[in-house]
Amino acid sequence: MSDLILGIETSCDETAAAIVEDGKKIISNVVASQINIHQKYGGVVPEIASRKHMEYIIPVIDKALDESGKKITDLSAIAVTYGPGLIGSLLVGLSVAKAMAYAQNIPLIGINHLEAHIYANLLEHNEIKPPFVCLIVSGGHTSLVYIRNFGEYKLLGQTKDDAAGEVFDKITKVLDLGYPGGPITERLAKEGEPSSIKFPRPLLNDGSYDFSFSGLKTAVIYYIKELKEKNKIIPVKDILSSFQQAVVDVLVEKTLRAVLEFKTKQIVLAGGVAANSSLRKEIKEKANLLNIKVFHPPTFLCTDNAAMVASAGYYKFKENKNSSLSIDAVSRLPLERKYY
């Protein structure tokens, strides 16, 4: 018999619910994005995000159930993101998930949001088998992780300051181009020249797997500021293209170094920035030369969604790694932490 898992995700500014069969088949996948609401502030406002989650969560779950053609009594378990993320936002999804699991008397499975981003890959690529190196790049995180087995994560390095996606968002904010910055940058960068401006590549050759993007961000902002002060034309497309290239260079270099050190033949990309076509293209080109395969989720599963939560939940459900109903939301939650 197959298992249907309801996934719930409210860690940031997307209210999402999805039903996934046996960890692989998406039966329904509903995402209510708050992008339009946060756009005018140039980033996510936590208080507004939690209030909107309260408004959307029940309709979104209802829609996921409706579109699946299944009944609530058909569910085997409920998987929900419990961290890391905005605490007020996480609490909304977690409280609803607890109530539903309790009422239906089915297991509740707390999911680490970063782990869910990794599992988004399995919804598309059955063939991924550990060990592999995963680059998790999103609005809140930039981490390189070695995955020996599912559930066994070794953090190789992470950002010391801003996350990669966060910097995309800040640069487009400074340029008054809107939010989120990643897709806007990607679109405009295609028409610019990536080698036209020499922006720094922080920590590129420091030998670690850590990242630092705040220096790059400052360099780009100062570059824009100086042009503005001198009343010069701002070459937006060249700036974005050169900035994007600097980010991609660092991400690709460090990921390739990790995969060579850990002698695996697979790289997995995860998180919102994994939607970036320039990153995908460059890492694939370089990995191909080394006979290394690169996987990434389809774009709609790179950014926050609940199908990835349901997928991660299925594998934990099968191993009886259920959570207690007293599980708490956690704003900072490393991948290694045991939570069952």
How far, in Å, CA of 18 to CA of 260, rounded? 36
CB of 232 to ligand KG4, least distance (A): 27
By a kind-dependent CB cut-off of 5 to 8 A, residue 305 interacts, out of ligand KG4, Zn ion, none, with none
Dihedrals φ, ψ of 31, to 5°? -130, 120
Among 9, 115, 162, 304, binds Zn ion (CB under 5 A): 304
Phi-psi region of 85 (alpha: psi -120 to 50; beta: other; left: phi over 0): left
By a kind-dependent CB cut-off of 5 to 8 A, residue 9 interacts, out of ligand KG4, Zn ion, none, with none
By a kind-dependent CB cut-off of 5 to 8 A, residue 180 interacts, out of Zn ion, ligand KG4, none, with ligand KG4
How far, in Å, CA of 269 to CA of 302, rounded? 9
Between 12 and 75, CB nearer to ligand KG4:
12
How far, in Å, CA of 76 to CA of 74, rounded? 7
By a kind-dependent CB cut-off of 5 to 8 A, residue 182 interacts, out of ligand KG4, Zn ion, none, with ligand KG4
Between 97 and 189, CB nearer to ligand KG4:
189
Tell me, by CB under 5 A, how many residues bind Zn ion: 2
CB of 269 to Zn ion, least distance (A): 13
CB of 99 to ligand KG4, least distance (A): 25
Residue 229 corresponds to which amino acid? Answer: E
CB 45 within 8 A of CB 36: no
- HSE, CB side, 13 Å, CA atoms: give it for residue 86: 22
By a kind-dependent CB cut-off of 5 to 8 A, residue 93 interacts, out of Zn ion, ligand KG4, none, with none
By a kind-dependent CB cut-off of 5 to 8 A, residue 178 interacts, out of ligand KG4, Zn ion, none, with none
CB of 116 to Zn ion, least distance (A): 8
Residue length of the chain: 340
Among 140, 115, 53, residue whose Cα is nearest residue 311:
115
Which positions lie near ligand KG4, rule CB under 6 A? 12, 138-140, 165-166, 168-169, 180-183, 186, 271-273, 275-276, 303-304
Site for Zn ion in 105-144 (CB under 5 A): 138
CB of 205 to Zn ion, least distance (A): 29
CB 280 within 8 A of CB 269: yes
Residue tagged 């060579």 (tokens): 260
DSSP structure string for 303-320: SS-SHHHHHHHHHHHHTT
Residues that bind Zn ion (CB under 5 A): 138, 304
